[in-house]
Structure 1
Amino acid sequence: MIFATMLNIQAYAQNQNGSLSGTVKTSDGAPASFVTVVIKDTKKGTITSENGEFTIKGLKPGNYILKISFTGLQTQEKTVDVIAGQTTHTDFNLAESANRLTEIQIISRKSANQKTVTVGKSGILARDLPQSVQILDSTVIRDQQVNRLADVLKNVNGVALGENRGSVNESFFARGYSLGANNVLKNGVRSSSGGVPEASTLESVEVLKGSAALLYGGVTGGAVVNMVTKKPKFNYGGEVSMRVGSYDFYKPTADIYGPISKTIAFRVIATKENANSFRDIVKSDRLYINPSLLFKLGTKTELLVQGDYLKSDYTPDFGLGTVGGAIPNIPRSAFLNTVWAYNNTNTATAQANVTHRFSDSWKLNAVVAYQSYNRDYFGAERPVGTATGISPRSLTRSKSQEYTYNQQLTLTGIANTGRIRHQILIGGDADQSNTTSYAFKYDTPTGANYGNFNILDPSTYNTRQDIPNTRISGNTYTPVYRMGAFVQDLISLTEKFKVLAGVRYTFQKMPRAVTYDQDNNTTTLASNSLPGSKVEHAFSPKFGLIYQPLKSTSLYASYASNFTSNTGTDIYKAALDPSIIDQYEMGIKNDFWDGKMSFNVTAYKIKNSNLAQTALLDQFGQPNADATVKEFSGATTSDGLEIDVTGKIAKGLNFLAGYSYNYYRYTKTLASGITEGERVIGSTKATANGTLFYTFSEGIVKGLKLGASAFVTGKRFSGFQTLKPPYAARGLPVKVSGFTTIDLTAGYTYKKLSFLAKVSNITDELNYYVHENYSVNPIPPRTFMGTVAYRF
């Protein structure tokens, strides 16, 4: 009764007031988004939506002066009348074009803490989120001439680059945890990292650090990475560019957008890349196409349809290998795989996103998505040499097809209970995936044995160059079904005290894999000890406290639980239990000089009840060579500290910097050969980064751009990091020193034409990215990259 009475009083008060609404458009008729609209001489105001629309509610009847502004725009004012119980409509037309507005918005972007995080789903500002977040926008992507996702994530503190088997995918570690396929998203949907995602055409990359289980389910505890693609626009424009670089790197790109009608807009982005490498024989051949359509289905509903296709052919490269447990002293360019090795991938995605606004406060979003990923691989395995350099060559032939379907439904809105404000998120999601992996047989008597060679003797690298004949002998079909529902509420008790609370329920079903033997025409179910499908479910809560003593300062502390499924089986072929990961985080987010600089500090602790790793021995006590056979190695703890600094303290001056420290170690051990306090495979002790760009806007050097970037990677281990014997059972750890690379950039823009050049690793630093199984790949030497672009 009391609650109903409060709502009635609130509704009556609102009926005595009036509202203002309208649309802001550019000189060429396109919607003007993110323009500030305020009532002059008051604190009431808002920002236009992506559609250029605005609404200001709760105004007492009377005359007002409505003012629109944005840094770099011509300010406009209009006198309007507000009538009780009615909405007064008024429109504005800017003197600037849509392209000019976009340029101004990029230059005058909000501070890092004032941005809305798309990957957070609920529209919460970064400063109100009790979790560390970092957004790399198109300015960073353009200025640093990035080509790969790894080029972007080097700017994210707490994220370390690693290596995988054969360098056929990108490998990342956040807060010590490996970011698997579930942790990399594209426009909020799980995306395969196979074939190495194309990053040069992205609008931005968002990194939500720590646990994101409430929002996505089934992700590891380190971070979630969301790649945001460029969207259609209702004004004509685009860009064509040519990028060239060292080792015969060539990459033309075209980006064209515009309206098809008053309610339909399009965008098409295409790029073709061909390159050799500082590594002998290694080359890449890539084709990427990204078309999209935007439909205005009325004033409150829009449909975005987008897709992309990536064909990526790359020479698999296991690097320099090891000799007697150490990195060999051989040339950085030495290629140890077979000369004919190949890894060919095809990735296609399609996504439909419908957004309907019930009001200015409530919005419904529905997403359906599809992805296919095909991989065809043939080559030798990682080289591991004896003390004299002798290494066997064992071939691997594999082919796989993966299909994924995803559905999401979210409702977001704002409601008040008395003086308490609620920012609510309610949602559900589901995805289904199936993978078919093919098995091969060799026609030659030696099978996968390709002979031996000597890592220390280049004359033995290519003594054999024939390609053995193989044929498909069967396949294994593995389906997975996931679904979840979640609710979250950001409760503003006062302007200074806020609480974020939420919970997710996750259900996952993994039917027994089906294996087909083509030679015998038989079908069997995997893991006969399992009576049926593996079913897992869990609740993942999240709770956070936020205190904002000033509008520019936010202090927070939070707890989140993460549920992670473990694939594979134990040594007795029984399914593995899931791991429960608890994360504790606290931090402070600060804006200085009216948002021109953001300085954020985060401290965290992540506890994993059970970490599953490849088993050392099988059930018979023999060495295990099957990566799907695992054991729980014990509990782990990851402690760390992260510092973010971003901003623009002067016109034309942009910078970002960061530092992270991580101690990810075993705190309770179950597996043999592991000691408490030992660092977990893949973890990097410390990383740091810094980037500074300055663009001259006046005088004879107007349009000149200068920049520098530095990236620091701390000490790591390749392979296991055992502190004491028995070393022999698990392999000798290979120590890798830390390193720093420095990039210098210079460019010039004249009207619509621009040129940008970069020299990377200017000191020609020699170091390595490493994988747990001794893929030791040298970092690139000093290289050049240049881009010529024409915007229209």
Structure 2
Amino acid sequence: MTYRKLATALTAASLAAAASPLAAQSPASADETVTLEKIEVTDVPIEQQILPTSRPFNSVYGTERGILDTPRNVTIISREQMNAIGILETRDFSKLTASSYTQTNFGLPSNPAIRGQTADVLVNGMRRGLTINGNGLPLNFNSVESVNIVKGAANVIYGASSYAGGYADFITKKPYFDKFSGSVSATVGSWDVYRWTADLGGPISPALAYRLSYSGEDSTGYYYDGKKKTQAVYGALEWRPSERYKIEVNSEFFVADVTENWGINRVTQQLIDDGLYIPDAGSDAAYAAAIQNIGGGFNPVRPYGTPVKLDRRRRLLAPGDDSYGINYTAQVIQTVTMSPDAKIVNNTFFNYVDRDTFSSYYYNSVHKDNWGLENRLQFDGKFDLGSVKNAFSVGVTLRHQEVWAVDDFWHEPVNSFDLTRNSDLNRVPATAFQYSAAFPFNNFNPGILIPGYGPRGALPGRYASSGATYGFDPVTGNFYGYDDLSSNDSTADQFSPFYQHDVTFNEKLSLLIGGRVDFLHVKNTDPLPPPGFTAVSDEETVQMPSFNVSPVYKITENITAYYTFGYTTTNAPGLGGGYVFTGTTFGGDGRSFTEAFFDQKNFLHEAGVKASLFGGKLFVGTAVYDQQKRWVTDDSKERYTKARGFEFEVNYQPNKNFYGTASYSYYDAKQRYTGFLADSATYDQRLGGTAIPATPDFPSISVEFQQPGMPEHLFNFLLGYKFDMGLSVTLGTVVTGPMVTSQEGLGTAGGSSVLFTANEIPWQHTVDLSFGYKWQQWEARLAIRNLTDQENWSAPNPGYGNGSINAELPINGELTLTYRF
């Protein structure tokens, strides 16, 4: 890790934050929130309220608005709900909101999925970035007070990214101004799960307060050879020297050492339905010998034996595989209130990531000293023109990002390994990265050793792929023809002016409009050119416009209808993070950027009705949407993802004792775009002789197909009851409809026509039950998850849907003891 570079970046972030006002308005702290908007449920403490009408928020349009006046479908997850379900990862969002089902992403989902697309993560309105296709460091919730989940691409103030499905805005913990208080807790769970936290804060003076929070984990977990070791430290300061000026500072350091969870390979319908796994035929000695001769791609399928019952705790990995990383963030939010109708907000956010993942089967990813710095300056004003009320936000965002990432997913013969054998044999040998007569394909896209990294597992070093296409090397006989490019050493500079205007014509009708242009300059140099070749480099400057229009009509004072149209232009995401060259699959040359890379058009049509009923004790929200992403690649082929759906959410809290939430979503999506796809056919069909008997075969499919890895139906509910004597009970359920795990349709593989096939995960449900008891300053909570002990499955990254599936946890429990002071 280059600590000098990190120190320089941190200094720059601090100077930028101190020198300028920040762009996304800070969320109100607990004591402020009560005074900002009337609380309908008067006997419920603010920290226990789950109704989205109980407080204003700014996660959708950058200015504080009530939920009824917000023309988007948004779910507010309160601290009460987070504690009730014990949110540990983005996949848990399915327990509380509609249209959010996140694939396992090898056990490390760093981003949620919303409406079938990878979604962004924001921190107090600022994008974290520096992620790769939703896979990376696990998210840490130590710093999080609540989460606002927004469906659809971000508005013009926040700016859209390549992850246009939606976003989760993490609202961080705020300092305590009223008094010194805090808590410590410890959790013990099934299969050696151990977690602990400490949180405290209070006033330093009437104008200055602080908050400190620490969390740690040292767990083995359910799966064999697993580990999750994390440490996180978070701090926040807030200073209010006058009624007109406020500055909020927060920072977090997070380190994690975990194992990936690829899941189970050789996926068949029989495995999903009956738990039966297809092993190799022959002896252990014959299998061990065969493994030493596997190549990268296009490995022939070996003879198989009688299907056997597989231990669900098994997964594809070898002892010693792990993923290690460090994440540091810092944020400064300044607010200058010049009058009741005018203020300036300046938001600066710095993010640093250094991580690497090594899996012997073989996936390698190294991200070294990556960082990003973003500053948004925003002026909010109000004025009247006769009876027409106007509110506007105008500003500019500046962003700089540097990414160094090398990856290798070309040499992943995942279906070559037999999980019934010794897991220490789940290792791709060094010969797989070199040309051999046995595997002539090994000279196509051979691996390159990363300088500075020593032996790992069975290999002399860490192999990765170049970030560009170089063609045939007559000296070695190798062909460096990488197509699914990932490795990059890229920088990006962005200048983004925006304007948003809210017109209230009368008590019934208002109109919200906004526009933005992202002026983006990117440069990329291949970080790992083949020996003897000069690294390819290219740069590009583009303009990416976006706008949104939303009429809002108040049917009554407490019932609102809205329609939103949004258009955003985004770039295609690089699998390694950053900006990569355009591969030959999409008409590029693998050596440069193309304009099509930055011209993905996203359209959102959304209409909904929201209602606050029974004196504000019941909130109901519904929405229908048509959300599309379309682009034309350099080979003149139109690619798209088009999703349509319906969402229904309800929150009910009549008193301090009871609350209930429920949501349902219907989702239907079609695609004409595969991205990366490892295998064209399920393993049982390969063995039956109906598909190319080689794995992986890196196929291509161009017909329209149903989007894999997303249930058509998703339903959840959460009920909570607190007795006055201190006992509490919560019951939650998630139901998912059937989903295919991979693409289906006619395509090509190895130059031949192939009928793509997939498996299907059937209807599934999970029931969670928890009990809590408060006595004076103590609280104990017992959580029982998967109460009915369902043998559920979860969908992987769709690119590996025919090579991976994850076995969900059986019934398990956790006991947490908390002391508050």
TM (norm. structure 2) is 0.74
Cα 1:552–1:479 change in 2 (3 A) is same
Please give the per-residue CA displacement for 1:489-535, whole angstroms capped at 9, x wherever unaligned.
Answer: 22110111111111111122211324365966x75234xxxxx5222
CA distance in 1, matches of 2:97, 2:617: 19
Of 486, 510, 520, which aligns to 1:498? 510
Structure-2 separation of matches of 1:719 and 1:377: 24
CA contact (8 A) 1:542 1:560 kept: yes
Flag structure 2 segments of 5+ consecutive residues without an equivalent.
Answer: 1-28, 272-276, 278-308, 428-455, 467-486, 574-579, 676-698
CA distance in 2 between partners of 1:420 and 1:340 (Å): 66
Q: 1:457 aligns with which of 396, 415, 420?
A: 420
d(CA) in 1 for partners of 2:202, 2:517: 42
Which residue in the other structure is 1:756 paired with? 781
What is the aligned partner in structure 1 of residue 553 from structure 2? Answer: 547
Shift in CA distance, 458/785, structure 1 to aligned 2, threshold 3 Å: same
Amino acid corresponding to residue 315 of structure 1 in structure 2: T
Structure 1 position 32, deviation (Å): 4.6
1:583-604 superposed Cα distances (whole Å, 9 cap, x missing partner) = 1111100111011011111001
How do 1:226-625 residues align onto structure 2 when only pairs under 5 Å count? Answer: 226-234=169-177, 235-323=179-267, 327=271, 328=277, 329-381=309-361, 394=362, 396=364, 398-438=366-406, 454-455=417-418, 457-459=420-422, 462=425, 466-470=457-461, 476-515=488-527, 524-526=535-537, 532-567=538-573, 568=580, 569-571=582-584, 572-573=589-590, 574-576=592-594, 577=596, 578-610=599-631
The superposition leaves residues 759-788 of structure 1 with CA deviations (integer Å, 9 ceiling, x where unpaired) of: 001111122222211331111111101211
Assess if the C-alpha contact under 8 Å between 1:154 and 1:160 holds in 2.
Answer: no
- Which among 198, 204, 208 is matched to residue 146 of structure 2? 204
Aligned residue for 1:639, secondary structure, equals: strand
Mean Cα displacement is larger for which, 725-734 or 473-482? 725-734
Shift of residue 341, structure 1, vs aligned partner: 0.5
1:127 aligns with 2:68: yes
| Pair 1:730–1:783, CA change in 2 (3 A) | farther
Does the CA-based 8 Å contact 1:150-1:170 persist in structure 2? no
Corresponding residue number in structure 2 for 1:529: none
Residue deviations 1:80-135, cap 9 Å, x none? xxxxxxxxxxxxxxxxxxxxxxx822245654486333343111222112111110
CA contact (8 A) 2:146 2:170 kept: yes
Q: 1:711 aligns with which of 720, 725, 734?
A: 734
Q: Which amino acid aligns with 1:71?
A: T
Aligned to 1:59: none
**For 2:671 and 2:205, how far apart are their aligned partners in 1?**
60
| Superposed CA offset, 1:322-375 (max 9, x none) | 256874352211132111111101100111111111122322111122111011
> One-letter code of the match for 2:495?
M
Please list, as runs of the form range in 1=range in 2, the aligned pairs for 1:626-637 lying within 5 A after superposition.
Answer: 634-637=639-642
Amino acid in structure 2 at the alignment position of 1:705 = S
Please say which of residues 413-422 and 236-245 is displaced more in the overlay.
413-422
**Cα distance, 1:503–1:454 mapped onto 2, change above 3 Å:** closer
The count of corresponding residues between Structure 1 and Structure 2 is 657
Amino acid at match of 1:557: Y
Distance 1:563 1:286 in 2: 37
Contact 1:147–1:200 (CA under 8 A) maintained in structure 2: no
Letter in 1 for 2:421: P
1:468 and 1:314 map into 2 onto residues whose CA distance is 21
TM-fit CA distance, 1:632: 5.4
Residue 184 (structure 1) aligns with: 121
2:702 maps to 1:674? yes
Looking at both structures, which has the greater relative contact order when contacts are Cα pairs under 8 Å and sequence separation is at least 6?
Answer: 2
Cα deviation for residue 455 of structure 1 reads 2.0
2:82 — aligned with what? 141
Distance 1:114 1:601, change over 3 A: farther
Cα separation, 1, equivalents of 2:407 and 2:625: 43
Q: For residue 546 of structure 1, what is the amino acid of its counterpart? A: V
Q: CA deviation at 1:456?
A: 5.4
The aligned residue for residue 768 of structure 1 is 793
Task: Give the residue type in structure 1 aligned to 2:97.
Answer: V
Cα distance in 2 for residues equivalent to 1:508 and 1:653: 50
Q: Is the 8 A contact 2:746 2:756 kept in 1?
A: no
Q: Secondary structure at 1:141's aligned position in 2?
A: helix
Task: Map 1:36-75; keep pairs closer than 5 Å.
Answer: 47=37, 71-72=42-43
Kept after mapping to 2: 8 A contact 1:141/1:152: no
Q: Distance in 2 between matches of 1:344 and 1:611?
A: 37
Change (3 A) 1:672 1:190: same
CA apart distance, 1:312: 0.8
The superposition leaves residues 264-315 of structure 1 with CA deviations (integer Å, 9 ceiling, x where unpaired) of 2111100111111211111110001101111223221111111101111111
8 Å CA contact 1:499, 1:543 repeated in 2: yes
Task: Tell me the TM-score normalized by structure 1.
Answer: 0.77
Same amino acid, percent of matched pairs: 21
Aligned residue for 1:151, secondary structure, equals: helix
Answer whether contact 1:368 1:405 (CA < 8 A) is retained: yes
Mark the CA change 1:632 to 1:245 in structure 2 (over 3 Å): closer, same or farther.
farther
What secondary structure does 2:45 align onto? helix
Amino acid at match of 2:397: D
Closer, same or farther: CA 731–513 of 1 in aligned 2, 3 Å:
farther
Cα distance, 1:729 vs structure 2:
4.7
With 357-366 and 112-121 compared, the bigger mean Cα shift is at 112-121
For residues 720-773 of structure 1, give each alpha carbon's deviation from its aligned partner in whole angstroms, at most 9, with x where no partner exists: 233788897585322222311000111111122111111001111122222211
Alpha-carbon distance in structure 1 between the residues aligned to 2:762 and 2:494:
41
Paired residues of 1:127 and 1:554 also in contact (CA < 8 A): yes
**Secondary structure of the equivalent of 2:176?**
coil
Where does the alignment leave 5 or more consecutive residues of structure 1 unmatched? 1-29, 37-45, 49-67, 73-102, 382-393, 441-446, 527-531, 613-628
1:65 corresponds to: none
* CA distance in structure 1 between the partners assigned to 2:638 and 2:227 by the alignment: 38
Q: Can you list the C-alpha shifts for 1:642-665, whole angstroms capped at 9, x where unaligned?
A: 001012024411111100011110
Larger radius of gyration: 1
Partner amino acid, structure 2, of 1:470 = G
2:48·2:79 contact (CA, 8 Å) conserved in 1? Answer: no
Supply the AA of the counterpart residue of 2:813.
Answer: F
1:660 and 2:704 aligned? no
Name the amino acid aligned to 1:575: F
For the residues of structure 2 that align with 1:754 and 1:728, how far apart are their CA atoms? Answer: 62
| Contact 1:148–1:200 (CA under 8 A) maintained in structure 2 | no
CA contact under 8 A between 2:117 and 2:165: conserved in structure 1?
yes
1:641 and 2:666 correspond: no
Provide the rounded CA distance (Å) in 2 between the counterparts of 1:395 and 1:118: 36
Contact 1:424 1:488 in 2 (8 A): yes
Contact kept in structure 1, 2:772 and 2:780, CA below 8 Å: yes
Q: Would you tell me which structure has more strand in proportion to its own residues? A: 1
Which amino acid in the other structure matches residue 322 of structure 2? Y
Separation in structure 2 between the aligned mates of residue 449 and residue 714 of structure 1, nearest angstrom: 30
Separation in 2 of the partners of 1:724 and 1:471? 33
Q: Cα gap change, 1:685/1:35 in structure 2, threshold over 3 Å: closer, same or farther?
A: closer
Whole-angstrom distance in 1 between the partners of 2:499 and 2:193: 48
Q: CA deviation at 1:170?
A: 3.7
Q: Would you say the 8 A contact 1:163–1:170 is kept in 2? A: no
Cα shift at 1:152? 3.7
In structure 1, the partner of 2:441 is none
